[in-house]
Structure 1
């Protein structure tokens, strides 16, 4: 059974229309998520033995996952963030959890469950107290994508001794949901908010892996390529919108506009090449040094960011004031992509990668 890439590509306009409608009220893309679920997007990341395609959980599935996330990004970056978080959770469980846990997760996914990874602490960092086979949680998570819609969240929590564990917990209790932040400029449909875990009791077997696994390299840095794949979809879509709107106005033949179109296409292809390179390296941890993988993916992350920012500027200059009119689809796409590209610690990421490669070459793709 093959994944229906053509069907996913065909629903781009449908996802984009919902994203536009939902932007004003910051509504969650329920219809789009149901559409993707029906196409098998949420189950695609499960291992083949669990009824999935192994996208992201098995080495052979890296290219398939890149294409899938890219297509979702074409239609809705907000929905892309939700899907990427779901895949991220399944990937971490596959890497560090037991086969029994993976089987439980797979059953839940096939039953319609939506997973997420919430690691940004709220005002009170998430802490855990273990005892008598149970764990009590205190604190919360902020900037939690899909809050109120995600059914199971993989979260990080610290013990009193400072050890950080991953825990898989049910988050269907909407009384613990706090929406926000208010006034977010882009990605308004991603359902970003806070979740209060204070006083929640869970079974000790909810822990996934060992203490420190979440930050273990190269997985911690390598996983960033999936977010790049979603951003790539947004970059490619913006480049297409630029071409379409200039052609519709009869301005596509103007030399300055042709230069912008060419530069946008170069930037989009640059983003694809770096994302593909990062995905292929991340899928082959046994063939490359851990530092090589982490540093290359970090460079790729920054290359994609630069490509995205370049396309944003080209669209704004090419379309002029029309790019800032709310009724123009480009206006929301610009805000969503600018927000999505705001990944943490870009300066530190660049310096760490540069330091690693100061005295060694980047790994060659021929080795994969």
Structure 2
């Protein structure tokens, strides 16, 4: 077991300080190393570790949903790409804590305390090229790779899914990035979230040990964790909407337009939209991190929260564009890059399916059951 000699940093005070500094991402097409170094020094990468391993348990221990929400929302207010990188870091460590053994957790904690960022890479390339495990005596060799890998070339460790010929379901691997991987850009670059440096990684020829395998086959897709984790990306996105509202406020004041009744109406709509998303996420975060409700209710609630945040963010973008006009599309306006980042980040998969399934659950169960219970209102 690994522990930190010092008390974990107050990450919330550190984030507030970094926001006040207006921590900059100087080139949106490059990995934000300086900013990430500042977050690491502030204890942000350490915070998701379980407390027994030197962290604060944010995202890895039950009952800390609101604290984890504050962390991820606060990161989104600073930078959506930074928030995306740390969100994946939290998700990876959660998987190790939930499905790994003490040796896996110790290995991960040592990596984090040494300053490493963790990635979570689970998307297989279309067609052939998916990641496969091949046995070579007591050792294992990998072929294939992953795409849409945020932090590719900069993450020191990664949790990845891989196909094992002996199993019907994918396995989870905890891999140290040691330079034996081939990192390359996506065939076509993304229009937003460029600073997250999302690329593709070819692991062909990489040798791994059997104890690099985490848990059992199929653990990654195990519910409710698989679907319930969607609230964490929504928390970062909602932080981006908050930052967008801040920029709108500042630019309206600078243009002496803050007293215009139409501008006030639009700004008020954004404030209400953000609060709607925040209330949904508070409910979803508490439910998802406690894991006490029926799994189907957790999944449905998080699904609705995710879709609610998507809707309020898209509405907020439209309101900002109406308020600032063509100026919101100028490339030297921070609003322009933030809107691109937010629109890209919101493109999570299977939104229609999520709505269909969540509505089906509440149609059949919880909503009608609670309809006549005033205590639940």
TM-score, length of structure 2 as denominator length: 0.92
The whole-number CA distance in structure 2 between the counterparts of 1:355 and 1:192 is 35
In structure 2, the partner of 1:109 is: 112
Aligned to 1:83: 86
- Corresponding residue for residue 3 of structure 2: none
Q: Which residue of 2 aligns with 1:128?
A: 133
The within-5 A match list for 1:253-332 is 253-285=259-291, 287-332=292-337
Deviates more, 1:9-18 or 1:188-197: 9-18
Q: What is the match of residue 63 of structure 1?
A: 66
Which residue does the alignment assign to 1:209? 215
Give 5+ residue unaligned stretches, structure 2: 1-6
Alpha carbons 1:14, 1:75 under 8 Å: kept: no
Cα displacement string for residues 219-261 of structure 1 (whole angstroms, at most 9, x for unaligned residues): 0011111111111110111111112211221112111111101
Between the aligned partners of 2:290 and 2:10, the Cα distance in structure 1 is 22
What TM-score does the superposition give when structure 1 sets the normalisation length? 0.94
Q: Is the 8 A contact 2:314 2:343 kept in 1?
A: yes
- Which residue number in structure 2 is paired with residue 7 of structure 1? 14
* Contact kept in structure 2, 1:181 and 1:192, CA below 8 Å: no
Three-state SS of the structure 2 residue aligned to 1:173 is coil
User: Cα distance, 1:61 vs. partner?
Assistant: 2.5
Q: Distance in 2 between matches of 1:174 and 1:271?
A: 42
1:15–1:76 Cα contact (<8 Å) kept: no
Q: Does 1:337 align with 2:373?
A: no
Q: What SS does the corresponding residue of 1:274 show, helix, strand or coil? A: helix
Q: 1:22 aligns with which of 12, 19, 27?
A: 27
Is 1:360 the counterpart of 2:365? The answer is: yes
Runs of 4+ in 1 over 3 A off after TM superposition: 13-16
Deviations 1:112-164 (A, max 9, x none): 11111000012411111235332221111000000000111100011225321
Secondary structure at the counterpart of residue 283 of structure 1: helix
1:74 paired with 2:77, answer yes
Stretches of structure 1 that go unaligned for 5 or more consecutive residues are: none
CA distance in 2, matches of 1:17, 1:150: 20
- Is the 1:78–1:189 Cα contact (8 Å) retained in structure 2? yes
Residues 1:154 and 2:170 are matched in the alignment:
no
Report how far residue 32 of structure 1 moved: 0.6
Alpha-carbon distance, 1:276 to partner: 1.2
- Separation in structure 1 between the aligned mates of residue 282 and residue 60 of structure 2, nearest angstrom: 16
Contact 2:119 2:151 in 1 (8 A): yes
Q: Which one is further off, 213-222 or 175-184?
A: 175-184
Aligned residues, how many? Answer: 361
Q: Deviations over 1:320-352 (max 9, x none)?
A: 011001111111111110111010111111111
Equivalent-residue separation in structure 2 for 1:162 and 1:15 (angstroms): 49
Residue 174 of structure 1, CA deviation: 6.9
Q: What RMSD over aligned residues (CA atoms) do the two structures have, in Å?
A: 1.7
Instruction: Look up the match of 2:201.
Output: 195
- For residues 192 and 104 of structure 1, the distance between their equivalents in structure 2, rounded to whole angstroms, comes to 25
CA contact 1:239–1:261 (8 Å) conserved in 2: yes
Question: More deviation in 97-106 or 186-195?
Answer: 97-106
